[in-house]
Amino acid sequence: MSLSLQSLSKTEAEYSSTRVLTFAMNDRVQPLDGERDPVKESNGKNAATTDAADQPRTPLAIVKNFCNITTAHGWRRVANSSHLNVRFIWLALTSCALVINILHVTLLVGQYLDFPYEQVAQVELSELPFPSITLCNMQPISQTTTAAFVQNETTKVFRWDNITKFFFSSDELGDYDDGGVLSKELLYNRVRQPTGFFENIDDESMLIGHQPMDFLLSCTFGLTRCDFDNFTYYQSPDFFNCYTFNGGNTSRERLIVKSTGPSAGLSLIMYLESDNGDFLYNGTYYTFGNILNAAGVRVVIHPPDTRPSPQDLGFDIPPGFSSSIGVRALRHQRLGSPYGSCRPAKDWELGGGRYIYSSHSCLKQCQQQHVMDSCACISAELPIPAEASARGLNFCGRFNPDYQQTFYDNLSCEINVTLAFMSSQTTQKQCGCLPPCEEYEYETKTSYSFWPLDFTQLQFFDIYVNNHPRADELKAYKNLGRFNITEIIYRGLIRKNFVRLNVYLESLVLLEYVEKESYTFSNLWSDIGGTFGLWIGMSILTWCEVIELIMGLIFNAFKKK
């Protein structure tokens, strides 16, 4: 009996335990209205996962899932807000932020594509290249040499001198007037000026010009003597023989300056042959010769290896003075395309020589091309290209007695083309003469003092003329040695014929004007990242989420097929 009761108690206990477990499973607490049921959601998720594995989802479901998990701001609110109005508000806010973000990025890209730049001035202390110094005697024709050529009937100088007297005297020209720019006065000046000789006597212009051994009596650079190897010959139609110190085509290397002041610069003593004590022939006063009719030296200070232009860029120093020119160097560094417009400063062929590119020389060459194309002749004042010889073109001022009208027409055409070119900015822009990408510029400050002192003139004349190693060959000795020193000093022939020039760097401080990009690609990239973060809260990882969304939509579309 006791065994039966014990078994019954055990059975009842097991039954009771089973009922409690069943009650706990079937009678769980139900969620209130409006609350999420985690069990159902869990079961739903498991079911959805199973279904997604078996069949493709709709694109809307994929996008909604993206909105739930993305780190971009606002989209989760659009997908999960319980009220429809709230969803629309967040959709509008998010869409506006996206549009503003796109506009902002567009502005940033446009700013970058404008390729803006800025010019920065900076100072640098360094060794500097010494400039090129071009020197021209302002009286281009040697009186003594020309007198000898005029008396020799076989010379072209003799022939041209007679032509100018016969065809272009005031009596012969009479009331000449071509009805245009070539007036009688201008024509008379043109044929009598050095340019007229230059165009008609060919290589004899070099012979009647001042030779280096006569013109350059003394040369020192720092504490070192310099010689003719330091100079480059340059021929000018206005000044004939000019000489460039530290120019191109010399056997010496470019000069680098390591100290300042006159003792570290160039010092020259030059003989001008402007007054020999008597007149060998009566000269011509040129009413259109604005840089002629004067004694002195035309000086051009320009960047090394560039073509000098004494007619346009030079300045004058007078005889009887010691002229000191202090120089300060500047450097321009310009950006090329697409930021700015500049041309590499490399060697190029110009007027029979090789020079470093400069915008001024480029314009002169372009002007010459206009003269050649319009007038079928070349201007002596401008660089002469190699094609002029190939085309058989002569100087516009070349005179042929058998074709006098052609001569007048060529001169008129040259003047008209020159005036039109100089007055038209449009024509000059069409030449495409951009500034060089790197360019040195030299600012000058000039001072003068009387030279030489009266009580030193005797010794000066002995040192540089009477006792010169080549005294017998010097024109200064031949022209002035026939006078005694007292007469030379009394008549002021030393001050009238000699000049001293000092050129030096005032400072080794180089002022640079450098063009730099003001908005680089790294600036653009950084600003775009900040813009996306500001307006829509996107980062690089967010973009990875977008890529994942796109790939999911593509794979889902293929799965449907």
In order of 144, 336, 345, 362, 522, the CA distances from 339 in angstroms are: 57, 6, 17, 22, 16
Number of H helices, E strands in the chain: 23, 17
Token pair 């063009």 in the structure block, residue: 515
Cβ neighbours of residue 130 under 8 Å, at least 6 residues apart? 246, 254, 255, 256, 257, 265, 266, 304, 505
pLDDT in tens, 68-106: 778 788 777 777 777 888 888 888 988 899 999 999 999
pLDDT in tens, 386-429: 888 888 899 999 998 888 889 889 999 999 999 999 999 999 99
Spatial CA neighbour of 476 closest among 456, 490, 462: 462
pLDDT in tens, 201-230: 999 999 999 999 999 999 999 989 998 889
d(Cα 545, Cα 560) in Å, to the nearest integer? 23
Tell me if 304 sits within 8 A of 132, measured CB to CB. Answer: yes
Q: Which contiguous run of DSSP H or E holds residue 478?
A: helix 475-480
pLDDT in tens, 132-161: 999 999 999 988 888 888 888 899 999 988
Using DSSP bridges, classify how beta strands 509-517 and 321-333 pair: parallel, antiparallel or unpaired. Answer: parallel
Token pair 């449009």 in the structure block, residue: 426
pLDDT given for residue 74 in this prediction: 79
More confidently predicted of 559 and 532: 532
Instruction: Supply the DSSP symbol for 394.
Output: -
Stated pTM of the model: 0.78
The alpha-helical segments, DSSP class H, found in 151-295 are 156-167, 170-173, 184-192, 194-200, 204-208, 212-215
Spatial CA neighbour of 189 closest among 274, 311, 291: 291
d(Cα 236, Cα 352) in Å, to the nearest integer? 13
Query: Which CATH number fits the domain 124-513, given the four candidates 1.10.10.10, 2.40.50.100, 2.60.470.10, 3.40.30.10?
Result: 2.60.470.10
pLDDT in tens, 433-487: 999 999 999 999 999 999 999 899 999 999 999 888 888 888 888 888 888 888 8
Tell me if 394 sits within 8 A of 377, measured CB to CB. Answer: yes
In one letter, which amino acid is 240? F
In one letter, which amino acid is 273? E
Spatial CA neighbour of 111 closest among 529, 528, 539: 528
Q: Tell me whether residue 262 is exposed, middle or buried, using C-beta atoms within 10 angstroms of its C-beta: 0 to 12, 13 to 18, 19 or more.
A: middle
The residue length of the chain stands at 561
Q: For residue 7, name the pLDDT band (cuts at 50, 70, 90).
A: very low
pLDDT given for residue 33 in this prediction: 42
d(Cα 543, Cα 55) in Å, to the nearest integer? 27
> Which residues, listed in sequence order, are joined to residue 333 by a DSSP beta bridge?
438, 514
Kindly provide the b/e burial profile for residues 472-484, where b requires at least 16 CB atoms within 10 angstroms of the residue's own CB: eebbbbebbbeee
